[in-house]
């Protein structure tokens, strides 16, 4: 069995004349190869440490982002086929992997007992990053198509995960926590999960001793791209954010039921992932 397979191949034209824009071509790989996973961990470190407001705990100078869940996950990697460079990655923790890992990453921040009945069909998606210079619609669409292809292939119905919003500091020119407050108000007013799927954060966000309700919200909050992607598909936000001090962020728990997802967007994603059967080695 190959430990690195093409999940979604690029639609590379036969000649340069058929690609006048000269843009890159991307493939999505599903991998358990240690070398490729390490490359993804280094990409995660590079992206996280270059994102304003994010912080990473010291890693002994290794310049790598790794945690105890990585070894139990399937890793989805976006490759620029013109250069061979890894430009995006995320990981999927399936039910069996979650049992082997002793739970989900999200469970380190939230009480997820509300999801107990969903567990056999629930996959956790996390640690999603895209390299600067490749944050275009094509890469983002490919990543979401990969999530759908993964669910369809293995027969899962639900995706959950944490979406992070930096808490920020005064150097940003805004009150620390204001963007997080604004995003919280925005998503819970429009996309809140029903009571039966509400989860409780173990560590509620407090900034300088103040709760989010005591921090002014900006006129127009900056909703992160990952959150926008979830909401566009029809995901719901499962309550108040948790404070992740290791990254200096507030994390929202989101839940997507693919059977209730936006049908037009699903159709578009399935057209991208039409070749999603595992083909060839990579």
Give the up-direction half-sphere exposure of residue 233: CA atoms within 13 A in the CB hemisphere.
29
159/72 Cα distance (integer angstroms)? 16
Work out the angle at residue 30's Cα, subtended by the Cα atoms of residues 28 and 33, and round it to the nearest 5 degrees. 125
What is the structure's pLDDT at 217?
Answer: 94
Element spanning 161, H or E: strand 158-166
* Domain 4-12+24-275 superfamily per CATH: Gcn5-related N-acetyltransferase (GNAT) (3.40.630.30)
What is the structure's pLDDT at 69?
Answer: 97
What is the structure's pLDDT at 14?
Answer: 41
128/26 Cα distance (integer angstroms)? 16
pTM: 0.86
pLDDT in 10s for each residue of the chain, 282 residues: 346 677 777 765 444 443 444 567 899 999 988 999 999 999 999 998 887 666 666 556 678 999 999 999 999 999 999 999 999 999 999 999 999 999 999 999 999 999 999 999 999 999 999 998 888 777 888 888 899 889 999 999 999 999 999 998 766 678 999 999 999 999 999 999 999 999 999 999 999 999 999 999 999 999 988 888 889 889 999 999 999 887 889 999 999 999 888 878 777 776 765 533 333 233
Domain boundaries, the chain: 4-12+24-275
- Tokens 């039409």 correspond to 274
């Amino acid at each position: 069995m190959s430990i690195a397979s093409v999940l979604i191949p690029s639609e590379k034209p036969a000649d340069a004349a058929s690609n006048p824009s000269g843009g890159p071509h991307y493939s999505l790989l599903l991998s358990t190869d240690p070398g490729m996973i390490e490359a993804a961990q280094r990409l995660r470190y590079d992206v996280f440490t270059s994102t304003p407001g994010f912080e990473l705990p010291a890693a002994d100078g290794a310049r790598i982002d790794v945690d105890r869940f990585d070894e139990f996950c399937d890793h989805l990697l976006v490759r620029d086929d013109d250069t061979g460079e890894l430009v995006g990655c995320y990981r999927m923790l399936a039910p069996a992997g979650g049992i082997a890992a002793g739970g989900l990453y999200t469970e380190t921040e939230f009480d997820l007992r509300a999801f107990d009945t969903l567990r056999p069909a629930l996959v956790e998606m996390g640690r999603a990053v895209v390299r600067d210079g490749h944050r275009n619609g094509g890469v983002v669409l490919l990543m979401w198509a990969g999530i759908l292809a993964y669910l369809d292939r293995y027969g899962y119905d639900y995706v959950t995960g944490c979406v992070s919003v930096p808490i920020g500091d005064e150097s940003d020119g805004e009150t620390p926590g204001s963007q997080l407050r604004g995003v919280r108000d925005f998503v819970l007013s429009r996309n809140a999960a029903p009571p039966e799927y509400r989860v409780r954060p173990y560590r509620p966000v407090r900034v300088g001793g103040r709760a989010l309700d005591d921090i002014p919200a900006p006129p127009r909050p900056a909703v992160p791209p990952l959150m926008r992607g979830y909401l566009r598909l029809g995901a719901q936000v499962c309550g108040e954010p948790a404070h992740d001090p290791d990254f200096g962020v507030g994390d929202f728990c989101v839940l997507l039921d693919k059977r209730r997802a936006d049908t037009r967007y699903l159709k578009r994603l399935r057209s991208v992932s039409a070749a999603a059967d595992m083909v060839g080695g990579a």
